[in-house]
Structure 1
Amino acid sequence: MLKRLRRLIVFVLVLGLGLWSARTYLAIKHVLTYRPLVQEVLAETGSPAGQDLILAMIFTETKGKSDDLIQSSESLAGLPGHITDNKESLIQGITVLSENFVVADNAGVDVWTAVQAYNFGTAYIDYVAQRGEVTTVDLAKTYSREVVAPSLGNTDGQTYPYYHPVSIWHGEPKLLRNGGNYYYAKQVQLNLTLIKLVATIEEN
């Protein structure tokens, strides 16, 4: 009986991984269709950001299923859902990210701090600069708990479940309510790897 149960568990895990992989592959293929638009906006804005990084952020933010591709409405208008055009979303998002890169470079912190600041806000860059100059999940989690969440009303550390390969890998599949996503930079890193992998497969 125990042997059968183990086999069933393995089967379910393998099946689940297979389904997740297939869905992820198709989602990334869809995101890759935005490459020409990303190239166009990068050229127009003169941003130093790489195409694949922006595609990875699109995948992280919306999987290409929203008019506001890179969820940049809040940085423009302070409210979600304000932007309803793909190009406008990219222009605003890439502009914010590029400004983060400049601030991060001047502060002497790593580029992933600039990426995490896309989720947290530019103030996170100074926070990291004063605490080792390299963002980590633990540092981002502390900032979420001590700065972001309280500023938006969560003063008692309320959390909610957040199941994602990165959060599960780190052994804590949850986030602080109103605390942003302290796994954001790690998610973008993972998605950047997946973007490059799928792009290579599609080209061959």
Structure 2
Amino acid sequence: MKNSRSSNYRKKTSPPPVPSKIRRKKKRRRTINRLKQIRNLSFLVLILLGWTFLFRSCFSSSQESVYVNSWAISDDVYAYEPALDAKAAEYGISDYEDILLCIMQVESAGLGNDVMQASESLSLPLNTLNPEESIEQGVSFFASLLSKADRLGLDLNSVIQAYNYGSGFLDYVYEHGGIYSFELAEEFSRINSGNEKVEYINEISSTKNGGYRWNYGNMFYADLVNRYLQELHEERAAANES
């Protein structure tokens, strides 16, 4: 009797068995829901990848346009031309006014406070100087590079590149033949970067190596300054002809 009551109790409280047809429907519904979830997740991943690609494409295009679409000196840089000329005359390097103008273009396009990006040449944090102080230090530093290059018998492109790398580059050029070359600038950057590359896309870099630089200074610096200088001279020649 005891066993019989226990058996009856289990029968009363246990749920009725689920028909096999209903079990199959539930299983099919769960499978369909999983497929929908997977499909929705895949669709979301594709959207994210698409937005990432679009963002990278737009960003690369905007970065490239800074360098490729125009090699003209900006109005913001021309606004500082009188101050640059006056300071160049003070340091006795008036013959290099156009180069100083192009250096400012490469460094800042005349924007911000430290327009010659000269703070670091004083071992100060980046962008510490105001425009007047920046021009003073930038012209002074360039004059010192010219003087050192003259003592070592080095060329002007070595001086231009040294504005970006520091005066140690002049010693490096002197020890490796005494004449600037892009290969020397690249090797100097490679050594000091610890072989670390970064993406760097513009008309010049894309032509030379597909769009990268070593992550120390800018190994294309002399090329960039000279490209702006070429455009500046062409503009002036065209204006004189007209």
Q: 1:24 to 1:115 in 2, by over 3 A?
A: closer
Q: Structure 1 vs Structure 2: percent identity of aligned residues?
A: 25
Post-superposition shift, 1:24?
Answer: 4.5
Equivalent residue for 2:235? 198
Which 4+ residue blocks in structure 1 deviate beyond 6 angstroms?
none
- Higher gyration radius (CA): 2
Post-superposition shift, 1:110?
Answer: 0.7
Equivalent residue for 1:183? 220
Q: TM-score normalised to the size of structure 2?
A: 0.66
Q: What amino acid maps onto 2:226 in structure 1?
A: Q
The answer to whether the 8 A contact 1:28-1:198 is kept is: no
Deviation per CA, 1:111-161: give whole Å up to 9, x if none.
Answer: 110111111111111111121211111111111112x22xxxxx3x22111
The answer to whether the 8 A contact 2:119-2:127 is kept is: yes
Post-superposition shift, 1:58?
Answer: 0.7
Higher mean C-alpha deviation, range 191-200 or range 129-138: 191-200
Aligned residues: CA RMSD? 2.4
Bigger fraction of residues in helix: 2
* Structure 1 unaligned blocks of 5 or more: 1-15, 150-154
Q: What amino acid maps onto 2:218 in structure 1?
A: N
Equivalent residue for 1:168? 206
Match of 1:39 among 61, 74, 85: 85
Match of 1:52 among 95, 98, 107: 98
What secondary structure does 1:66 align onto? coil
What secondary structure does 1:135 align onto? coil
Post-superposition shift, 1:201?
Answer: 5.1
Post-superposition shift, 1:29?
Answer: 3.6
CA distance in structure 1 between the partners assigned to 2:91 and 2:154 by the alignment: 23
Q: What amino acid maps onto 2:106 in structure 1?
A: T
Equivalent residue for 2:110? 64
Match of 2:125 among 73, 76, 79: 79
